[in-house]
């Protein structure tokens, strides 16, 4: 996909920031791989490439810009490891990695075919410090202390998965949820030990928001 068009489509999500040529090329390559694999494996119901850019990359990069603002001390120095639960087609984990290349990323995906896609995408994009865990979040026993950021987007059984998100965030980690506006109150009730920020509405969406939460030792 043309990188100039990608940049144009993503601009509303980037809060005035711009993507580099390398980042845009990575996104273009990612879309090509996603379209090819999606023809034989249902990675996403979105078929139109431009809608893939806005729905998947736009949402992911909107959160990335809030987590890792350009020209700010906040970011990889504090949030050094990301766990992406139920990665599916790699969102938001891989776009956040493209935005913040210093970040160490673990993609958790229980579907083995989707996990194979994730490994191919990581290989094709030549991303470093990215691993794929082919299993359920409940089975993951990695270093929780290093897992300072846990993301969750578009998963079923939200009420069952959220406690695992909190567990994996450890004692002083951060949580990033991509949810519907109506699920904010549910998240606050399910995890009262988390200090939740005010939800941030996602551009070009009527109901979807990004919700950040903090675990404090």
Dihedrals φ, ψ of 137, to 5°? -60, -35
pTM of the predicted model as reported, rounded to 2 decimal places: 0.94
The range of the structural domain enclosing residue 119 comes to 3-214
The CATH number of the domain holding residue 146 is 3.40.50.150
Tally the residues of the chain. Answer: 217
Residue 125 has pLDDT above 90, yes or no: yes
The tens digit of pLDDT for each residue in 155-189 reads: 778 999 999 999 999 878 999 999 999 999 999 99
| pLDDT digit string, tens, across residues 97-109 | 999 999 999 999 9
Evaluate whether 85 touches 161 at the Cβ level (below 8 Å). yes
| pLDDT of amino acid 77 | 44
Lowest mean pLDDT among 77-81, 91-95, 109-113, 194-198: 77-81
Q: Which residues contact 40 (CB under 8 A, 6 or more apart)?
A: none
Look-up of token digits 């009420």: 159
SS3 content of the chain, % helix, strand, coil (to 5): 45, 15, 40
* Interval 138-157: pLDDT, tens: 999 875 445 689 999 977 78
The total number of structural domains that make up the chain? 1
């Amino acid at each position: 996909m043309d990188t100039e068009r990608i940049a144009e489509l993503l601009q509303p999500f980037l809060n005035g920031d711009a993507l580099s040529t390398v980042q845009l090329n990575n996104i273009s390559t990612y879309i090509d791989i996603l379209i090819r694999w999606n023809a034989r494996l249902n990675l996403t119901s979105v078929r139109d490439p431009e809608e893939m850019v806005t729905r998947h990359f736009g949402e992911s990069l909107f959160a990335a810009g809030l987590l890792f603002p350009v020209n700010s001390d906040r970011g990889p120095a504090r949030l050094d490891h990301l766990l992406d639960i139920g990665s599916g087609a790699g969102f938001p984990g891989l776009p956040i990695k493209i935005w913040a290349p210093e970040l160490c990323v673990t993609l958790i995906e229980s579907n083995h075919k989707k996990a194979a896609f994730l490994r191919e995408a990581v290989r094709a994009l030549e991303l470093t410090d990215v691993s794929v865990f082919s299993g359920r979040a409940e089975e993951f026993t990695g270093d929780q202390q290093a897992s300072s950021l846990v993301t969750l987007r578009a998963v079923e059984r939200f009420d069952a998965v959220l406690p695992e998100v909190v567990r994996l965030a450890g004692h002083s980690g951060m949580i990033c949820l991509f949810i519907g506006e109506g699920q904010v109150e549910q998240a606050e009730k399910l995890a009262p030990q988390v200090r939740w920020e005010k939800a941030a509405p996602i551009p070009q969406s009527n109901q979807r928001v990004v919700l950040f939460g903090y675990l404090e030792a």
